[in-house]
Amino acid sequence: MNTELPSTHDQHVDSATTNDESKQPSLVKVLGKWSAMALVVGAVIGSGIFAKPGANALVGNSVGLIMIAWTVGGIITVIGGVCLAELALMMPKAGGTYVYIRKAYGRIPAFLAGWNESVFFQSCGNSALAIFFVINLSSLIGVEFSNVQTVGIAISLIAVLTVVNCLGVFWGGLVQNITTVIKVGFLALIALLPILLLFVEIPEVHAANYTANFSTEKTPDSLVMIFTLVMLNVMWAYSGGWMVTGIAEEIKEPQKNLSLALIGGAIFLFVIYIAVNIAFHGALSLEQMVEIENDPVRLVPQEAISIYLTPVNASLGQLAKAVLSSVILVSVFSALNTGLLTPPRVLFAMARDEMFIPAFAKIHPRFKTPHIAVMGQGLVTVILLLIVSGYVVYRTNQATDSGLPAGSEAKGIFDYLTNIAVFSATIFIVLTIGAIFILRSKHPDMERPYKVPGYPLIPLISLIANAIFLILVGSDDIVVVLFSGGFLLCSLPLYFLFAAANRKPTAGDA
């Protein structure tokens, strides 16, 4: 029995536009290959590579295991990009993974996927990024903001980027290009810092840092659970590259540029993350990283770059810390920009398919952007930011009342939010990879400008790896499962509400 509500839109979704539709403004292709690549890299390099090395030290008991996790995460990301490219080039439509899941599984799974990505995963991620931005700004300028000031600055940042992305995808893409170049350049510099050892003696950097073991009270007894927790941190740092598929309709020559962005971007991230982590662990032992992680205003990257450059020149070391703090602000700004640029295209696609608020399908006649969807994404992000901030303040006050230092819970809450986001995203990554098999069977004659090499082995490896990851995370923290699953179940009634609201009356209804 088909439990999905019918839609008159289904009859026309793959056909040519109607006369009425042809009069409506449409999305324009303004993003080239470098903008598409910048969106992939910019979406992924946000807070993870800067915040998660310290978090890994808290739960990982050896550098070897941590580096294996970064390697496994990189391989999963690259294979995922290879697989996603087939779907993206088959259906280069606004909405990305929502479109693929709709074609393979139907309307209800597609609604849940779009809702999860835009309303839950990305809005939670955006709110976390905005708070992380303000925390780093406070550290950089040496001013402690009040809770109201912190939230106010974060909301202002979200508002500015929302306006930028309403003005046109060109401006959003331009912001992405500039900020991505800055942070990638600095990460490349960090990756190359160990070369200084050839010219300058740096006492703190030695091979023992790579081989020493260190455990904390947060390190699990089980090696499997240690690896699972480290992988949770790693996958947050690698997550987000798929979002470029959401703006496929606005990418020039998507058959060439979209595949380059997905696969080339994933390979680049894999290489740079491994190199940067080698530099971090050479400068800091696990014990030192744990000490830094327990300090709410210090981060591993700043301390590592200071260790490398201070022997060259003491002033240079301090300057580098300040510059890196600024680069982290740029990095978070860039990731937040992507979070407000691409997910609205999913809401736009859902509304166009009559599965969301109809106004979200509107395109601005002058700026050619889904401006209602962009503003809606910004509004939801602000709402979740207020909820998350209230929870952070409550937990911090509880910690202070218990005699703990104020702010000692902040990084823990950030980590927990990212764990929930990664788990929820992985559910739909599994569904997306599974769509390759389903569409090969259901639509074998569909044009495929690109096919996954090594089919069915390569997508099967990706599917199994992500499924195992889901099972391990679920077995370790049932609250993460309940939170993600509960959110999806609560959103299900909205599907039927939107479907009923969008259903067109028939002659029999008159």
| pLDDT, tens digit (0-9, with 9 covering 90-100), for 53-107 | 998 998 988 999 999 999 999 999 999 999 999 998 898 877 778 889 999 999 8
Is 503 part of any domain? no
Question: Looking at residue 259, what is its pLDDT?
Answer: 84
Q: Is residue 96 part of a domain?
A: yes
Q: What's the CA angle centered on 180, arms 246 and 153, to 5 degrees? A: 85
Confidence of residue 401 (pLDDT cuts 50, 70, 90): low
Distances (CA, A) of 317 to 184, 290, 327: 20, 21, 15
Which pLDDT tens digit goes with each residue over 253-305? 877 888 888 899 999 999 999 999 999 999 999 999 999 888 767 788 989 99
Residue 5 counted as domain residue: no
> What is the per-residue pLDDT for 343?
76
Tokens 């398919």: give the residue.
Answer: 353
The pLDDT assigned to 135 comes to 75
Whether 294 is in a domain gets the answer yes
Mean pLDDT score, 347-359: 82
CATH number, domain of 463, equals 1.20.1740.10
Q: Cα–Cα distance between 322 and 492 in angstroms, integer?
A: 47
| Residue 10, in any domain of the structure | no
Confidence of residue 510 (pLDDT cuts 50, 70, 90): very low
In a domain, 22, yes or no: no
Question: What is the per-residue pLDDT across 168-199, written as a single tens digit (0 to 9) for each?
Answer: 766 666 776 787 788 888 899 899 888 877 77
Confidence band, pLDDT 50/70/90 cuts, at residue 475: confident
User: Is 172 in contact with 337 (CB distance < 8 Å)?
Assistant: yes
Q: Which two tokens stand for residue 4?
A: 């999905």
Rounded mean pLDDT of the chain?
Answer: 81
Instruction: With respect to residue 427, please indicate whether it lies within any of the assigned structural domains.
Output: yes
Q: CA-based angle 377:73:53, to the nearest 5?
A: 80
Q: Of 226, 327, 213, which Cα lies nearest the Cα of 281?
A: 213
The answer to whether residues 234 and 70 touch, using CB atoms and an 8 Å cutoff, is: yes
Lowest mean pLDDT: which of 120-124, 173-177, 419-423?
173-177
The pLDDT of residue 159 is above 80: yes
Query: How far apart (Å, rounded) are the C-alpha atoms in residues 246 and 232?
Result: 24
Task: Look at the pTM and tell me if it is higher than 0.75.
Answer: yes
Domain residues for the domain of 186 are: 28-495
Q: Is residue 472 part of a domain?
A: yes
Give the pLDDT confidence score for residue 421 in this predicted structure.
83
Q: Which whole number is the average pLDDT over 501-510?
A: 56
- Alpha carbons 307 and 284: distance in angstroms, whole number: 9
Predicted local confidence at residue 183, as pLDDT: 83
Q: How many domains does the chain have?
A: 1
> Is there a contact between 345 and 245 (Cβ–Cβ < 8 Å)?
no
Of all residues in the chain, the percent with pLDDT exceeding 90 is: 26
Taking alpha carbons only, the member of 174, 143, 76, 136 closest to residue 433 is: 76
